[in-house]
With several copies, the nearest count.
Chain A
Amino acid sequence: MTTERPIEIQCRLFARYAEVVGTDRATLHLPPTATVADAVRELRERLPGGRALPERPLVAVNQAHARSTQPLTDGDELALLPPLAGG
């Protein structure tokens, strides 16, 4: 069914999170009903050292702060943000 065609999510990791998993980018293919929380779960399972990432990190979708319940859309950019330190 067309509704089952997976969506592609570009993931970005920053600062300490990029150090922990040894990469700052990953691409996920997820069911079209996937939320931010689903994507984070997938990253924690699939990336080497991914378990060291928090279960509910601060996240941004398409360069804006987002909640873990936010649904994702094909082509979205999901970023996992360590605790902020600006200022």
Chain B
Amino acid sequence: MPCCHHLREVEIPYLTRNPIDPAVLLAEVSGPGRGGTTLFVGSVRQSPEDGPVVEIDYTAYEPMAEAEFERILREASDRWPEARIAARHRLGVVPLGEASVVVAAAAPHRGQSFDACRWVIEEVKRRLPVWKRERLADGAEQWSDNAGARHPTGPRSSGS
């Protein structure tokens, strides 16, 4: 049952401003020939280094992020042709504990589903043009990136 992710009949955006329901992604990738499904959920967490983060405001270079997601999933389909993969990234303000990113990968064998899911989330972290502004319990705000750097925020720019 070959399936190309990028030939989805209905184009579902990868970016959303609503809470992400893992069950929806599990349903999207399920199929009778795919017995193993791995799902990854990344959530806004309290970071021991920074003290309590109460929420994160995610922004993106949106058309590029959609295109980059599409490229990542197409590359994953090339690597794991039998896998079916779904992904979402949330934008806007995400409260503590809610999911910022969800990836689901279903495949005939469990190893493929683990490997594909892991590969996609690593590529998302590495390539997706998304930024986060963390709001701490004391009201301070900072830009925080995947390399661990922190910068205090300045005035909000009008258009971004």
User: Quick check: do A and B touch in the complex, using CB within 8 A?
Assistant: yes
- Give me the interface of A with B, judged by CB distance under 8 Å: 12-16, 18-20, 22-25, 60, 63-65, 79, 81-87
Inter-chain contact B151/A16, CB cutoff 8 Å: yes
Inter-chain contact A87/B153, CB cutoff 8 Å: no
Inter-chain contact B143/A22, CB cutoff 8 Å: no
Q: Give Cα A79 to B129, complex, Å.
A: 10
Please indicate the chain A residues that have their CB under 8 angstroms from the CB of B126 in the complex: 84
Please indicate the chain A residues that have their CB under 8 angstroms from the CB of B139 in the complex: none
Please indicate the chain B residues that have their CB under 8 angstroms from the CB of A81 in the complex: 61, 129
Q: Give Cα A18 to B59, complex, Å.
A: 12
Please tell me which one of the listed residues A64, A79, A85 contacts residue B144 in the complex, with CB atoms under 8 A apart.
A85
Inter-chain contact A83/B129, CB cutoff 8 Å: no
Inter-chain contact A86/B124, CB cutoff 8 Å: yes
Please indicate the chain B residues that have their CB under 8 angstroms from the CB of A87 in the complex: 42, 89, 100-101, 110, 121, 124-125, 128, 130, 146
Q: Give Cα A51 to B54, complex, Å.
A: 33
Please indicate the chain A residues that have their CB under 8 angstroms from the CB of B101 in the complex: 86-87
Please indicate the chain A residues that have their CB under 8 angstroms from the CB of B128 in the complex: 84, 86-87
| A-B contacts besides A82-B131, A87-B121, 11 pairs, CB < 8 Å | A12-B61, A13-B157, A14-B129, A63-B61, A63-B68, A64-B67, A84-B145, A85-B146, A86-B129, A86-B146, A87-B110
Q: Give Cα A83 to B110, complex, Å.
A: 20
- A63-B143 contact in complex given A14-B131, A19-B154, A24-B159, C-beta closer than 8 Å: no
Inter-chain contact B129/A18, CB cutoff 8 Å: no
- A16-B146 contact in complex given A23-B157, A24-B159, A64-B64, C-beta closer than 8 Å: no
Q: Which of A20, A60, A63 has the most CB of B within 10 A?
A: A63
Please indicate the chain A residues that have their CB under 8 angstroms from the CB of B146 in the complex: 83-87
Please indicate the chain A residues that have their CB under 8 angstroms from the CB of B61 in the complex: 12, 14, 60, 63, 79, 81
CB distance from B95 to the nearest CB of A (A): 17
Inter-chain contact A85/B132, CB cutoff 8 Å: yes
